[in-house]
């Protein structure tokens, strides 16, 4: 997918939340309140849990620039693995995106850079676009390790096949996720510049070619305006607030 043709990218990460009833609620609310004019050249990606991907796809696909993504995929292919979901399956039901490397999976399931790389590889095999999450913990930040961690995650997670059309990077400081605490906008912008520097070097990019960079961590309708209006930030990855259709529409309408 040519991600570069979109302006802002708003991603809803439902995590382990949602139900058929919530999908119906979104559908009803969006039918009234989701207008092409408001969305413009921006993109909305909704990432529900696996069991709800297919019904989300069939209910939401009609909305302008709205895409569906999964929250994970297996690093392994062609084996009997109870409980895993492959990129083949996600692509079979015509999802376009997959979130990989989220800190909750890194921490709770010990997913390291190597495992995440394998997942990215599998996602690309099936032409899925990747939203790759990176971010430092509170301890790493306190010990001035933030830049090293980000550098390490980018260089050891992203594979050679990543490019500006198939990969979005989401910078999510772990201490900001679900805490209501968010870095100052200047701090986020500084980090975005740093991430671009590393990516430009890694992929030998010319100045007019840029990866799309999102910010995630306690984004809500009140703080999203400032974030989305920054030229250095290409979008947001929203957890908690994305479970409310009203809040999500408010975030999309950041220009009003
Ligand atoms: P939050 O989650 O918006 O609830 O902080 C963001 C995320 O984990 O992607």
Using the structure block, give the residue that is written with the tokens 């500006």.
164
First to last CA, the chain: 28
Better-predicted residue by pLDDT, 255 or 83: 83
pLDDT band at 241 (very low <50, low <70, confident <90, very high): very high
Give the pLDDT mean for 15-36. Answer: 94
Band (pLDDT 50/70/90 cuts) for residue 186 is very high
Q: Is 102 a catalytic residue?
A: yes
Whether 197 is a known active-site residue: answer no
- CA-nearest residue, atom 7 of ligand 1: 239
Nearest residue CA, atom 3 of ligand 1? 239
Confidence bin at 39 (pLDDT 50/70/90): confident
**What are the tens digits of pLDDT across the range 84-108?**
999 999 999 999 999 999 999 999 9
pLDDT at residue 70 in the model:
98
The mean per-residue pLDDT over the stretch 95-122 comes to 97
* d(C-alpha 243, C-alpha 119), whole Å: 26
73-77, 119-123, 170-174: which range is least confident on average?
73-77
Please indicate whether residue 134, judged by its CB atom, sits closer than 6 Å to ligand 1. Answer: no
Say how far apart CA 134 and CA 67 lie, in whole Å: 22
Is the CB of residue 251 less than 8 Å from the CB of residue 207?
A: no
Tallying the residues shown for the chain, one arrives at: 256
d(CA 170, CA 162): 14
Q: Is 177 in the pocket of ligand 1 (CB under 6 A)?
A: yes
Task: Report the b/e string of 111-142 with b at 16+ CB within 10 A.
Answer: bebebbbbbbbbbbebebbbbbbbbbbeebbe
- Considering the chain, what is the average pLDDT of its residues? 95
Q: Give the mean model confidence (pLDDT) for residues 105-113.
A: 96
Is it the case that residue 202 has pLDDT exceeding 90? yes
Compute, in angstroms, the gap from residue 12 CA to the centroid of ligand 1. Answer: 9
Q: What is the pLDDT, as a whole number, of residue 206?
A: 86
Q: For the stretch 34-53, what's the b/e string if a residue is b when 16 or more beta carbons lie within 10 angstroms of its beta carbon?
A: beeeebeebbbbbbbbeebb
Q: In the structure, what pLDDT confidence band is assigned to residue 256 with cuts at 50, 70 and 90? A: confident
Take residue 68 and report the two structure tokens written for it.
């569906």
Q: Is 224 in the pocket of ligand 1 (CB under 6 A)?
A: no
Q: What pLDDT is attached to residue 146?
A: 97
Beta strands in the chain (DSSP E): 9-13, 43-47, 66-70, 97-100, 129-134, 167-171, 212-216, 235-238
Q: Which atom of ligand 1 is nearest to the CA of 13?
A: 9
Q: In the prediction, which pLDDT does 246 show?
A: 96
Q: What is the pLDDT of residues 206-233, one digit of tens each?
A: 878 899 999 999 999 999 999 999 999 9
**How much is the average pLDDT of 16-29?**
97
> If pLDDT is split at 50, 70 and 90, which confidence band does 80 have?
confident
CB 111 within 8 A of CB 133: no
């Amino acid at each position: 997918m040519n991600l570069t043709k979109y302006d802002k990218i708003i991603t809803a990460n439902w995590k382990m939340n949602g139900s058929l009833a919530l999908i119906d609620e979104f559908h009803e609310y969006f039918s009234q309140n989701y207008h092409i004019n408001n969305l413009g050249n921006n993109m909305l990606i909704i990432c529900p849990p696996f069991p709800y991907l297919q019904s989300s796809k069939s209910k939401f696909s009609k909305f302008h620039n709205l895409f569906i993504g999964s929250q994970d995929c297996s690093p392994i292919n062609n084996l009997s693995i109870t409980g895993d979901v492959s990129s083949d399956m996600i692509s079979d039901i015509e999802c376009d995106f997959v979130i990989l490397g989220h800190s909750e999976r890194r921490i709770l399931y010990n997913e390291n850079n190597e495992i995440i790389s394998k997942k990215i590889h599998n996602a690309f095999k099936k032409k899925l676009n990747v939203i790759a999450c990176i971010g430092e913990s509170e301890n790493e930040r306190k010990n001035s390790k933030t830049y090293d961690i980000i550098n390490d995650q980018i260089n050891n997670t992203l594979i050679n096949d990543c490019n500006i059309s198939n990969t979005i990077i989401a910078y999510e400081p772990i201490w900001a996720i679900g805490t209501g605490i968010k870095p100052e906008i200047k701090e986020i912008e500084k980090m975005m510049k740093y991430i671009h520097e590393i990516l430009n070097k890694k992929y030998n990019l010319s100045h007019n070619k840029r990866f799309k960079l999102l910010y995630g961590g306690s984004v809500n309708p009140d703080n999203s305006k400032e974030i989305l209006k920054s030229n250095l930030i290409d979008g947001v990855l929203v957890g908690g607030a994305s479970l409310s259709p009203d809040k999500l529409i408010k975030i999309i309408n950041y220009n009003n």
